[in-house]
Amino acid sequence: MITRFAFVAAAALALGSCDMAVGQMDGSGIDAARLVGADEDWANWITHGRTYSEQRFSPLDQVNTDNVGELGLAWFADMDTARGQEATPLVMDGRLYLTTAWSKVRAFDAASGEPLWEYDPEVPGETAVKACCDVVNRGLAAWGDRLYLGTLDGRLVALNRETGAVEWEVRTTDPEQSYTVTGAPRVIDGMVIIGNGGAEFGVRGYVAAYDAEDGEEIWRFYTVPDGDSSDDPEYLQQASETWFGDVLGSESGIGGGGTVWDSMAYDPELGLLYIGVGNGSPWNRAYRSPGEDGTGEGDNLYLSSIVAIRAETGEYVWHYQTTPGETWDYTATQHIVLADMEIDGEKRQVLMQAPKNGFFYVLDRATGEFISAKPYVTVNWATGIDEDGRPIENPETRIDKTGQPALVTPGALGGHNWHPMAYSPVENLVYIPAFEAAMMYAPEANWKPDRKRGFNVGFDLGAGDLPPDLGMRREVAGTLKGMLVAWDPVAQEPRWTVQHPGPWNGGLLATGGGLVFQGTAGSEFNAYAAKDGRKLWSFAAQTGVVAPPITYTVDGEQYVAVLAGWGGAYALSVDGEIIDRLEPVRNVSRLLVFKLGATGELPAAPELAEIPLDPPPSRASAETIAAGGRHYARYCAVCHAPAAVGSTVLPDLRRSGALQNRDAWLAVVHDGILSANGMASFAGSLTKEEMDAIREYVIFRANQDKDGGVK
């Protein structure tokens, strides 16, 4: 909170930087007092956002604006998972713990980098097709002498912190449905809180609390009604009045969505847990909640909402919906930050969020009262937020009503995604890893859900599917921007902005040394002056960095650490050629740890060998190619990028040897011979003829691009 942090920061400067062991743990376990008092534990990083307020601000100032240029690589550790790395490490007792892709866990000596133990939950490879946005994991929680991990396939696992041994595990999701877990758990008074993802695949969202001792479920909070409200608690009965049609919980397979896949914050004085609720399932409200005229109707609570829950019991307290009747994948699962500040001459306990929809919100966290909201990026779906906190919508972008395509900003990736913000109570600024990426939304005619496979969004994801540098694809590419925005939450305006070449830059860390740290899609790890955004230091990371940094001390020395490795939704779903035009990027997954005066160096970056574009001739009929394009858009584009251009993480299908042979292609797509690598069979959703039509479409696209000069 601003008053206490301002005092702590001032005290740190008065004492000098020599006493860096403030709050150093004594080797005993994590308890409620330690978590509530994490503000004063300068040496460690014991919960996801460093404190329950999720400010990601550390008072440490040994590394500061005067000497950050002396920061050097102390040690690094390569990961064995060449996929997106999104985790926030934890540091306790001089040990660093982190998760990697595929829900693996590793422990290191935080000063030397010596490996201590590893844990692999052996997530089945075919789970990857249930994950909308890469096989990532964002971190751990700690309680007592245990660590807690949510695995991609829906398990909650308790590990011995000393050895990495499994002490118990429970399943938190239905394995028959396409749920996944990628977010970091939180622990409150001996309860482990975890949500899940899967809205794009037709699931119903919830968050649940489990006993840290044995994994027994204590409470479960559903975010959307199930179609039969008679036995629902009052908050869900009220929500059901905002849904229309007869689809929820029915055999139609529409689960409603509203998954709680990332953000949480906790106020121990109020006893409130704040959760961010995700998008609808499907995105297109016309299919999810149809009115009498067949177009979208209703606010659809509690989609795209911030909800306050009584942490002890899981009871509903209040909500604020950022995007009523959401239809653009505008989740409110983005980072939630709590702080105390003066607004209009009054001290306020506030909650702040910059969700996907492009507006920065300030709410009273005790009551949910709307205080203010302004756009932090370019927005065309709404012209503003009215005095009641509702958006003033642009009807042309309400495609669930018009039934017509529209280019909407922000697009489905948002103006800010999962990457954590940071808040400096010294500057009273929120640092946002913002970006702009418009999307062409075009309703899909005669859409039907497929809970087993495929993106259940109700839109034609091939709407911008044209050859490179032509038409809508070029127009969308022209909207791609990235920036670090220092946002004044009282004035609701930017104080300063750093422009990046493109989107999908890393999460933030702010420190008492007057610094803001951020990795970039351009393979840099940078330090900026928190006051004015001057770039003070940079390290060539050899890979895109999307994860947020942390800082800690061991034996009086301050370290800064970040998990590097390119991946996630943007890296998968935007074609690699567009990304590489902005910032050529590859995945080299490793943990990087820095301290003053260190002189370590990375090995030379590996050479990137490109398979030549040499497809077989395209001889299929126009009808077959068109059908293959439709199936590709729904079942393949989310991982292999639109227009079959190839993402920067997964294989470029235009260059696949399987294009040469129908049987080889079907062995992968139908028989699932690569399921251990994440490419599961689609036999339950597509016929062999439809699968081969996709192959013919990819062959057609590969020839188009080769004729256009792509090599």
What is the distance between the alpha carbons of residues 450 and 201, in angstroms, rounded to a whole number? Answer: 7
Q: Is 4 helix (H, G, I), strand (E, B) or coil?
A: helix
Nearest 10 degrees: CA dihedral of 311, 315, 320, 324?
130
Q: Where are the alpha helices (DSSP H) in 112-194?
A: none
Residue 223 φ/ψ, nearest 5 degrees? -100, -15
Between strands 280-281 and 256-257, the pairing is antiparallel
Which residues are tagged catalytic? 329
Q: Is 8 helix (H, G, I), strand (E, B) or coil?
A: helix
Q: Where do we find the tokens 């909500």?
A: 319
What is the distance between the alpha carbons of residues 108 and 126, in angstroms, rounded to a whole number? Answer: 30
Cβ neighbours of residue 457 closer than 8 Å, sequence gap 6 or more: 200, 282, 283, 284, 329, 444
Contact between residue 124 and residue 153 where contact means Cβ atoms under 8 Å apart: yes
pLDDT computed for residue 575 by the predictor: 65
What is the distance between the alpha carbons of residues 222 and 301, in angstroms, rounded to a whole number? Answer: 11
Contact between residue 361 and residue 308 where contact means Cβ atoms under 8 Å apart: no
Residue 13 φ/ψ, nearest 5 degrees? -65, -35
Strands (E), 223-343: 256-257, 264-267, 272-276, 280-281, 305-310, 315-321, 336-343
Contact between residue 520 and residue 484 where contact means Cβ atoms under 8 Å apart: no
Q: Where do we find the tokens 């034996």?
A: 555
CB neighbourhood size of 108 (10 A) = 22
258 vs 128, 143, 236, 261, CA distance in Å? 20, 28, 13, 9
Q: One-letter amino acid identity for 470?
A: L
Burial class (CB within 10 angstroms; exposed 0-12, middle 13-18, buried 19+) of 22: middle
Nearest to 576 by CA among 653, 479, 647: 647
What is the distance between the alpha carbons of residues 47 and 28, in angstroms, rounded to a whole number? Answer: 16
Q: Which superfamily is assigned to 622-707 in CATH?
A: Cytochrome c-like domain (1.10.760.10)
- Chain-centroid distance of CA 473 in Å reads 24
Domain(s) of CATH 1.10.760.10: residues in the chain = 622-707
- Cis peptide bond N-terminal to 282, omega within 30: yes
Rg of the chain over CA atoms, in angstroms?
24
Nearest 10 degrees: CA dihedral of 678, 682, 688, 693?
-80
What is the distance between the alpha carbons of residues 248 and 303, in angstroms, rounded to a whole number? Answer: 13
**Paired tokens of 665:** 């292609």
pLDDT computed for residue 12 by the predictor: 37
What is the distance between the alpha carbons of residues 48 and 185, in angstroms, rounded to a whole number? Answer: 8
Between strands 57-58 and 508-511, the pairing is parallel
What is the distance between the alpha carbons of residues 276 and 353, in angstroms, rounded to a whole number? Answer: 9
- Cis peptide bond N-terminal to 355, omega within 30: no
What is the distance between the alpha carbons of residues 166 and 223, in angstroms, rounded to a whole number? Answer: 31
What is the distance between the alpha carbons of residues 98 and 568, in angstroms, rounded to a whole number? Answer: 17
Q: In the chain, what is the straight-line distance between the N-terminal and C-terminal CA atoms, in Å?
A: 55
Contact between residue 140 and residue 174 where contact means Cβ atoms under 8 Å apart: no
What is the distance between the alpha carbons of residues 227 and 248, in angstroms, rounded to a whole number? Answer: 5
**Paired tokens of 26:** 């004594």
Collect the ranges in the chain with pLDDT lower than 50: 1-24, 468, 470
Q: One-letter amino acid identity for 657?
A: G
pLDDT computed for residue 471 by the predictor: 53
Nearest to 644 by CA among 699, 683, 606, 711: 699
Cβ neighbours of residue 11 closer than 8 Å, sequence gap 6 or more: none
